Amino acid sequence: MSPVVAERVSPAERVWDAGRPVDVRSTLAPLRRGAGDPAHRIDADGSFWLAAATPGGGGTLALRALDTTRVLARAWGDGGPWLLDRLPLLLGERDGSDWANLDLGDWPRLRDVLRRRPGMRLSATGLVMDALVPAVLEQRVTGMEARRAWRGLLARYGTPAPGPLADLRVPPSAATLLAVPSWEWHRLGVDGQRLRAVRAVATVAPRLEECVGLDDAAALARLRIVPGIGEWTAAETAQRALGHPDAVSVGDFHLADLVVGFFTGRPRGTDAEMLELLEPWRGQRHRVVRLIELSGVAKPRFGPRYAPLNTRAM
């Protein structure tokens, strides 16, 4: 079978027929950093918007399903052509038939999630820095703190996204990140350790963007060479930018409890237990984690909610 290509409609529009079910929202949802993410938006009709700093410049892409297999893409800005050309990989074409070959054994709940979402795939944005910087901001803090810092960073140092949405922002470039003074990071609630990690990745941004052309193992290894980028941050980045099917977010505050709880019913678990339970799916462990996340399983809560550390007041 010849590879599926996107049909050109106009310089700013493209209709892509995947020849298989496509679930825009489930595939792209992990890219969104909270409901107020200035770089991503989901409309009531299911349209997914993203603003990105592409190799061609800032660009905006809006995706809407036309039917079960076809997606209409509209693009704006200098980076628009790059985003349109990336469309199949963005919607999971890199996955191929691997989801269909995923052996879920005696776990009917996982099979049911896959049955209900036949168009879900792993997105590969090809944009390492756009995935890496928000992941760094999420290190060792609550989601609320990380999202507040990400929103503040884009509001102050991002650029208006081309296109019709006035509130959409393109993430700042590596050069811009390096120029942000330390006291501005403090105002954003970013502590010194995360600040040093952001500056470290911004310093070698071109080398990190080359991860898109490396195999999965080499890409993870290159990401982890950078000071401040550990296993969790590298995995979170590889999952989104590269569509890595096996990268597990070891060290996540919630994930081990979620995975162990799903498989054993116990309310708490460790990273070692999580990896042992996922071992039968080595090579596809991130796919299984995505199914668990969409299965409806929830982490039970005990005791008071964690009080975020107010870095800005220090």
What is the per-residue pLDDT across 184-217, written as a single tens digit (0 to 9) for each? Answer: 999 999 999 999 999 999 999 999 999 999 999 9
Q: 142 in a domain, yes or no? A: yes
Q: Which residues contact 163 (CB under 8 A, 6 or more apart)?
A: 60, 62, 76, 77
191 and 224 housed in the same domain: yes
The pLDDT value given to residue 94: 83
Residue 175 belongs to a domain with what CATH number? 1.10.340.30
211 and 259 housed in the same domain: no
Structural element, H or E, at residue 27: helix 24-28
136 and 218 housed in the same domain: yes
12 and 54 housed in the same domain: yes
The pLDDT value given to residue 2: 38
Token duo for residue 21? 């079910």
Name which of 41, 10, 14 is nearest 25 in CA terms.
41
Q: 303 in a domain, yes or no? A: no
134 and 230 housed in the same domain: yes
202 and 283 housed in the same domain: no
The pLDDT value given to residue 173: 97
Domain boundary among 78, 94, 110: 94
Name the pTM for this structure. Answer: 0.91
Beta strand 159-160 with 70-76: parallel, antiparallel or unpaired?
Answer: unpaired
Query: Residue 226's domain spans which residues?
Result: 128-241
Q: 111 in a domain, yes or no? A: no
The pLDDT value given to residue 97: 65
Q: 229 in a domain, yes or no? A: yes
Residue 52 belongs to a domain with what CATH number? 3.30.310.20
144 and 229 housed in the same domain: yes
Q: Are 168 and 154 in contact (CB under 8 A)?
A: no
Q: 108 in a domain, yes or no? A: no
Q: Which residues contact 204 (CB under 8 A, 6 or more apart)?
A: 226
Count the domains in the chain: 3
- Output the tens digit of pLDDT for each of the chain's 314 residues: 334 455 554 458 999 999 999 999 999 999 999 999 999 999 988 899 999 999 999 999 999 999 999 999 999 999 999 999 999 999 999 886 678 788 998 899 999 999 999 999 999 999 999 999 999 999 999 999 999 999 999 999 999 999 999 999 999 999 999 999 999 999 999 999 999 999 999 999 999 999 999 999 999 999 999 999 999 999 999 999 999 999 999 999 999 999 999 999 998 999 999 999 999 999 999 999 999 999 988 877 655 555 555 555 55
The pLDDT value given to residue 308: 56
234 and 262 housed in the same domain: no
The pLDDT value given to residue 96: 65
Q: 112 in a domain, yes or no? A: no
Q: 305 in a domain, yes or no? A: no
Q: 81 in a domain, yes or no? A: yes
188 and 282 housed in the same domain: no
88 and 133 housed in the same domain: no
Q: Which residues contact 57 (CB under 8 A, 6 or more apart)?
A: 77, 78, 79
23 and 90 housed in the same domain: yes
85 and 160 housed in the same domain: no
Q: Which residues contact 134 (CB under 8 A, 6 or more apart)?
A: 33, 146, 150
